[in-house]
Amino acid sequence: MNYLIDVSGALIGPVEFPLIPGLGIQLPNNAVTLDQQLDEPMSGHVWALIGGWPQQVLDLRGVVYSTDTGESVEWSEVGDLPEGFTKTAPPGPYFSWHEGSWQLDVKAQQAAATLAAQSERDKLLGEASLRMAPLQYALELGEASSEEQSALLEWKRYCVALNRIEQQPGYPLEVEWPVLTLDAPRGRLNALRSFFRAK
């Protein structure tokens, strides 16, 4: 029985080659003749020549994952994967390979969540400062209306709440973001309200 050997080393076949008059059957360089037809390989396996003899080996070709970085790569060889690779995808970010499986790196997850929460808080505080400034000026000049005084007070409470998110029990993985509420959304206060959204 004739079999082809593909680039990964797997046996493909059996394959029949035509008889060429005067030359007989010509086998290509990547072909081999075996004494008998091979049985269907077990699930997840293929036949390959090992030391000149056909043996069933694991077929893990396709997408595999680096246990160092979690990045996916295309694997094109048959047989066991070398150390440093696995067929199992990491469940998500902040997972590292430990003792044969992906384990959540809690410290890395919390560090990333802390950075994201602080960045969002600082952005919101910056927006709040821009909106508070003209209200504060009006108050200092003695020209603030009752609406503006009320709005300034709400902005200040909002900023205090933003600055205290680290005191929340779920921080940094779960943050309950404060929401600004203004009692009289008229005139210039409409613009103020447009800068806020529920988290």
Q: Where are the domains of the chain?
A: 1-59, 61-104, 107-193
pLDDT in tens, 36-54: 999 999 999 999 999 889 9
E strand map for 17-166:
19-20, 24-25, 31-33, 45-50, 53-58, 62-66, 72-75, 85-86, 95-98, 101-104
pLDDT band at 89 (very low <50, low <70, confident <90, very high): very high
pLDDT band at 20 (very low <50, low <70, confident <90, very high): confident
Res 139: pLDDT: 96
Return d(Cα 185, Cα 199) in angstroms, integer: 20
Res 146: pLDDT: 94
pLDDT in tens, 171-199: 999 999 999 987 543 434 444 444 344 34
